Chain A
């Protein structure tokens, strides 16, 4: 009996040792240096003062927000606020803050930090207000949304709104609403854009302009800690040189590869690719304040006359997928049931005939002078469209201006058909549908370049804007997309595909639809 119990003890002990070593194995993810090769440097490191993606990559890893996007999605989860509730009026949000969180400089995270980070961007009497411009705050129209940010107690903050605005929560997850250390910001003052101090999984170490930014793991992180010891963001502007640095092993992941190199990367046994459609849409708007685009049949005809597959093959290469909705497919509430307008020149001609334009018509097609992810070469797209439209009897003359002028003229609706696009900010459908297609956006300077005024569509998206319940909002947006499809104010062209090549040893890297680059989950296989 004794012997058996001894055996049992031995067995148990060995089991424990075994389980301990397997515990150690999961800890094996920890360690290592990850070098991320990217195309450009940050403009500045204070997320509230910048607007470009390259600057935000730092914020994605150094800062936390009250709420955050679940990595890889447009869905919201609690961040520095453990939970929140909304008053019945819909105009008052109360956030309950996480306790025991510290900034990288040792400052306690509390209600004061939240009030400081947000108030500096809109309260003119705030001592840090003068270090603006707070570009994204104004770009997101936050002045029209937020009335005040009030500390209730050390761990409770109230945000008062001017109007019902459900997407506001998504705005709070954006980089500009990151919570910064008030001590560090006060100390650095205007210079706070050359350094960074948040509560995030990585700490800022060093920035050599146009060369590299070094971050290291925050071992006191409040959530699950990052695996890698150091994260180096290295600037390599030329895409092929970036790929060669990856091939040689000097960097572990690269951004924005050249489309020509993608085949080589796919063939390389040491490399892999992670890809996802971006949160953007490239489209052609038809200006309904001009004839004949006030006629729905004409707009539908144009939709049938355009062969998107040809355009994508010629211009986007591997980096685009056809669009059928104004929303990108990674956005929640995307209506996949909508059937794309088929490429059918014959049907297009019939529709034109029905509209009384059997001999076609002459118009202008405006092409942007710059390259954007949603449309890498608008002039080439315009040329292909021109020949496709000619097939159905529409003579489109291509027009282009210098970029600033182009946007100005579009804002004043001086175009007939124009190529343009949009990249989402906050992962909320409102940020596409309301900004680009609402009746309010037809007021000059207009962003509704189709000058499309549809009462029903407008009431759906306005209702969705004011509703907090996400399921209800999904329903409303799906219905709105059906109306959009039927009325055809645009020819939705393409969503760019974001491609991220990396070594096969880089694990668990997720692309974010919001173009964030988060490295907390990433580990290196040894």
Chain B
């Protein structure tokens, strides 16, 4: 088991090196001189040259690459061109928001998705099966942008149940500690006994989490269904049933556990993608996460920010995949011996 983990960890290094190198050359070779894009209509030649020198872009590319590698190894992504702040601080200020939203959406999508998948597999060709698979198709094809706005119109504006966006009622003047607002809300209760902050953080999470969960939910439901159908056909399920075990026990203990492998793969991949930030959801719900920030960084050719952002996100992605692989061996002991 340990050897397996070590081997997987060892693989991390070349993977990340590949990412780091790819990010550098993708940006270096992309059209549009950053100084020009940043300075816009106002740029004169001296200003462009001065800025290029400041960014180190006047040096030959291979030297730029070596300088960049040296810094990245020390976790120094430099300063954002646009804001002049350390890229790592910019990421720290935004990543918690993204992680919080991603975790909530993933919990929602996984629990509901697996539940729906199991129901439609066990009640195949029933009304529930058709309804949930139609729902899943609808979910996959739903434009997130449209869904978000519709949810705001219904639940915030018309029913006045939930806020339109943001992470917290701004009139609370609350100062975040960890930047994970749920956590901050709990800390706030311990400190002051006032549950308002936690309540506000939770109500602000609902609409963006639902919006973001739709697509993963639909995908998970469909994968669960097909995987369950596959497993339910197996001989050992028949045997289990033949022993007179309750159907619930057969489905959840024997069938589901075996059917979960592909589902977990999908959950891991989807979670990784959500961590890269959900640009559309973040934009509609004014969610100050990393996706929108990275998008703007790319748009404004903020090289250090793009590099830092992509490297941090890819690292998370790779680590989640590692975690998923390890989870396989927990669920299915066969993989360990292999």
* From B43, B149, B152, B288, contact of A235 by CB (8 A): B288
Contact call B164/A248, Cβ cutoff below 8 A: yes
Contact call B292/A210, Cβ cutoff below 8 A: yes
A247 at interface by CB-CB < 8 Å: yes
* From A33, A133, A193, contact of B171 by CB (8 A): A33
Specify which chain A residues have a CB less than 8 angstroms from the CB of B175 in the assembled complex.
206
> How far, in angstroms, from A205 to B289 measured CA to CA in the complex?
22
Contact call A133/B94, Cβ cutoff below 8 A: no
Contact call A139/B42, Cβ cutoff below 8 A: yes
Determine the main DSSP class of B at the interface with A.
Answer: helix
Specify which chain B residues have a CB less than 8 angstroms from the CB of A208 in the assembled complex.
93, 176, 288
A212 at interface by CB-CB < 8 Å: yes
What is the total of A-B residue contacts with beta carbons within 8 Å? Answer: 122
* From B45, B93, B160, B170, contact of A445 by CB (8 A): B45
Contact call A407/B293, Cβ cutoff below 8 A: no
With contacts A133-B50, A237-B292 known, is A404 near B36, CB below 8 A?
A: yes
Specify which chain B residues have a CB less than 8 angstroms from the CB of A445 in the assembled complex.
43-45
* From A138, A210, A214, A250, contact of B47 by CB (8 A): A138
Chain B 55-98 interface mask (CB, 8 Å, partner A; 1/0) = 00000000000000000000000000011110000100110000
Chain A 24-54 interface mask (CB, 8 Å, partner B; 1/0) = 0000000001010000010110000101000
Specify which chain A residues have a CB less than 8 angstroms from the CB of B93 in the assembled complex.
208-210
> How far, in angstroms, from A211 to B282 measured CA to CA in the complex?
11
Q: At the interface with chain B, which of A7-15, A164-172, A238-246, A286-294? A: A238-246
> How far, in angstroms, from A133 to B282 measured CA to CA in the complex?
31
> How far, in angstroms, from A512 to B156 measured CA to CA in the complex?
32
B154 to chain A, nearest CB (A): 11
With contacts A214-B173, A234-B170, A405-B32 known, is A209 near B165, CB below 8 A?
A: no
> How far, in angstroms, from A247 to B166 measured CA to CA in the complex?
16
Contact call A402/B32, Cβ cutoff below 8 A: yes
B244 at interface by CB-CB < 8 Å: no
Contact call B283/A250, Cβ cutoff below 8 A: no
B170 to chain A, nearest CB (A): 5
A255 to chain B, nearest CB (A): 13
B327 at interface by CB-CB < 8 Å: no
CB nearest neighbor in B for A212: B170
Specify which chain A residues have a CB less than 8 angstroms from the CB of B282 in the assembled complex.
237
Specify which chain B residues have a CB less than 8 angstroms from the CB of A211 in the assembled complex.
166-167, 286, 288
Determine the main DSSP class of A at the interface with B.
Answer: mixed
* From B42, B94, B152, B166, contact of A244 by CB (8 A): B152
With contacts A33-B171, A208-B176, A407-B36 known, is A245 near B288, CB below 8 A?
A: no
B194 at interface by CB-CB < 8 Å: no
Specify which chain A residues have a CB less than 8 angstroms from the CB of B153 in the assembled complex.
244
B285 at interface by CB-CB < 8 Å: yes
With contacts A206-B175, A209-B288, A422-B41 known, is A245 near B36, CB below 8 A?
A: no
A408 at interface by CB-CB < 8 Å: yes
With contacts A49-B84, A234-B170 known, is A250 near B164, CB below 8 A?
A: yes
> How far, in angstroms, from A247 to B149 measured CA to CA in the complex?
13
Contact call A44/B164, Cβ cutoff below 8 A: no
B164 to chain A, nearest CB (A): 4
Contact call A403/B32, Cβ cutoff below 8 A: yes
* From A209, A237, A250, contact of B94 by CB (8 A): A209
A194 at interface by CB-CB < 8 Å: yes
CB nearest neighbor in A for B33: A404
* Interface residue count on the A side (C-beta < 8 Å): 47
* Interface residue count on the B side (C-beta < 8 Å): 50
Specify which chain B residues have a CB less than 8 angstroms from the CB of A236 in the assembled complex.
164-166, 286
CB nearest neighbor in B for A233: B170
With contacts A133-B54, A237-B283, A241-B165 known, is A408 near B36, CB below 8 A?
A: yes
Contact call A244/B157, Cβ cutoff below 8 A: yes
A420 at interface by CB-CB < 8 Å: yes
A65 to chain B, nearest CB (A): 20
A412 to chain B, nearest CB (A): 11
> How far, in angstroms, from A235 to B164 measured CA to CA in the complex?
12
> How far, in angstroms, from A404 to B82 measured CA to CA in the complex?
16
Q: Which positions 24-62 of chain B face chain A at CB distance < 8 Å?
A: 31-33, 36-37, 39-47, 50-51, 54
B188 to chain A, nearest CB (A): 15
B284 at interface by CB-CB < 8 Å: yes
Contact call A232/B288, Cβ cutoff below 8 A: no
List, sorted by A's number, 18 A–B pairs whose CB atoms are closer than 8 Å: A41-B288, A44-B83, A139-B42, A208-B93, A210-B93, A210-B293, A211-B167, A214-B173, A232-B170, A241-B152, A244-B149, A247-B157, A248-B160, A250-B164, A402-B31, A408-B33, A445-B43, A445-B44
- Measured CB to CB, the residues of A under 8 A from B are 33, 35, 41, 43-44, 49, 51, 133, 135, 138-139, 190, 193-194, 205-206, 208-212, 214, 230, 232, 234-238, 240-241, 244-245, 247-248, 250, 402-405, 407-408, 420-423, 445
Q: A238-B286, A420-B41 provided; 20 other pairs, C-beta below 8 A? A: A41-B288, A43-B82, A133-B51, A193-B83, A208-B288, A209-B93, A230-B173, A234-B286, A235-B288, A241-B284, A244-B156, A244-B157, A245-B164, A403-B32, A403-B37, A404-B37, A407-B36, A407-B40, A407-B43, A422-B41
Which are the 5 A-B pairs with shortest beta-carbon distances?
A210-B288, A404-B36, A404-B32, A211-B288, A236-B286
